[in-house]
Structure 1
Amino acid sequence: MSGSTTGRGFRPAQRLIELANAVRADPRLPRDAMARLLADHGEHPDDLTEHGFSAADADELRAAVTRLTAVLTETDTDRAAHALNELLARCGARPRLSRHDGHPWHLHVDRGDDAGWADWFTAAGAHALAQLLSDNGRVAWGECAAPGCATLYLGTGPGTRRRYCSPACASRARVAAHRRRRRKEQGSTAG
């Protein structure tokens, strides 16, 4: 259980978002699909075999993702901070540097190298969200506000708080709002 050291670096918040969206799309997301997502984020293939990442591990990880998703859909900064503190306390998170599987030194916030997948993921995900909240002074993630879309996203850029998962959803929402206003204006001028 490690972080990627490829060109994009270790991105536990992005890993969390991708797993959360996958589990929301398929609450029974198969072990193999979860393993592929973890591999995409730098987990060593040897750790993701059925022996290293069992069906029971996948079930526990799926439940951990669901608990973290509750924070990802929280819009109130204070409630999100308290929820993150509870998750960090529950998984016994404590910062430590770790180097394994050919990776350089990197930060872990779990019970130790023998922590289970769910504890490790909860600690890493909650720590990543806590860091984002601390850096931004507010919730820096959310659920897309576009009608019919419930995709979770990270909104860590400068400027106003992000509301949509993508420019396409933002554009569709703006066009729909424009059309509603025009219909309302046309209805009020026709009478």
Structure 2
Amino acid sequence: MVKQEFRPAQRAIDLADAVRATPDLSREALAELLVRHGERPVDVAGEAFGEGDAAALRGAVQRLLDEVLTDPHPDPAPDISADARTDRAAHALNRLLADCGARPRLSRHDGQPWHLHVDRGDDAGWADWFLASSALALAQVLTEYGRATWGTCASPRCGTLFLGTGPGSPRRYCSPACASRERVAAHRRRMR
């Protein structure tokens, strides 16, 4: 059995992208995404993750989208600096952490190494857990890179969310395929 890498920031992006694409994403689809990101199938089955939990989680994901992940000033917005975008993200993440009653504690469960939890405790609901853990993960990304490395693909034909934590300059596209497609389209426009 291959042990899954614990990547809560990518989990936040993947769930946000799925809920943005399908606001009424089914409980089963949410559970599948959670399992893909390391949750045990037994923890998202039946009453452990019911319809009410799924609705609350969709609401929490939407809040993360509205307050942190979706920039109200999409690129290129010459009057909004990268520093202003980073400040906006940092303030939004601080609000989420405060609203979740975030108190850091170390936790180790389900074969995972010790890691930080910032939810209200082991009995926290799925929505509270998601907002707290996502805010912590994105805050760690912001502090490590000195900026909000997430965004929406700049391709007008795409719009997928991405988490850009690789080397080099800040990303504008979700994938090399989108970047290439847009470069080719721009080249063809210039040649006409």
Match in the other structure for 1:189: none
Matched, 1:120 2:116: no
Larger radius of gyration: 1
Q: Pairwise mapping of residues 52-67 of structure 1 onto structure 2 (< 5 A)?
A: 52-67=48-63
The correspondence for 2:38, drawn from 32, 39, 42, is 42
* In 2: Cα distance, 1:30 partner to 1:20 partner: 14
Matched, 1:169 2:178: yes
The residue type paired with residue 55 of structure 1 is E
* In 1: Cα distance, 2:108 partner to 2:168 partner: 36
Match in the other structure for 2:70: 73
The correspondence for 1:86, drawn from 76, 95, 106, is 95
* In 2: Cα distance, 1:104 partner to 1:145 partner: 36
Match in the other structure for 1:188: none
Deviations 1:101-153 (A, max 9, x none): 44442221111001100000000101111111111111111000011211000
Contact map agreement 2:89 2:148 (CA 8 A) in 1: yes
* In 1: Cα distance, 2:10 partner to 2:4 partner: 11
Shift of 1:73: 1.9
Q: TM-score, normalised by structure 2?
A: 0.88
Contact map agreement 2:151 2:161 (CA 8 A) in 1: yes
Shift of 1:6: 5.2
Paired residue secondary structure (1:51): helix
Shift of 1:68: 1.1
Q: TM-score, normalised by structure 1?
A: 0.89
Instruction: Give me the CA root mean square deviation.
Output: 1.6
Structure 2 unaligned runs (5+)? 74-84
Aligned length: 179
Match in the other structure for 1:96: 105
Q: Pairwise mapping of residues 135-150 of structure 1 onto structure 2 (< 5 A)?
A: 135-150=144-159
Deviations 1:69-99 (A, max 9, x none): 1211237111111011101111111211112
Match in the other structure for 2:24: 28
The residue type paired with residue 190 of structure 2 is R
Match in the other structure for 1:180: 189
* In 2: Cα distance, 1:67 partner to 1:130 partner: 16
Match in the other structure for 1:187: none
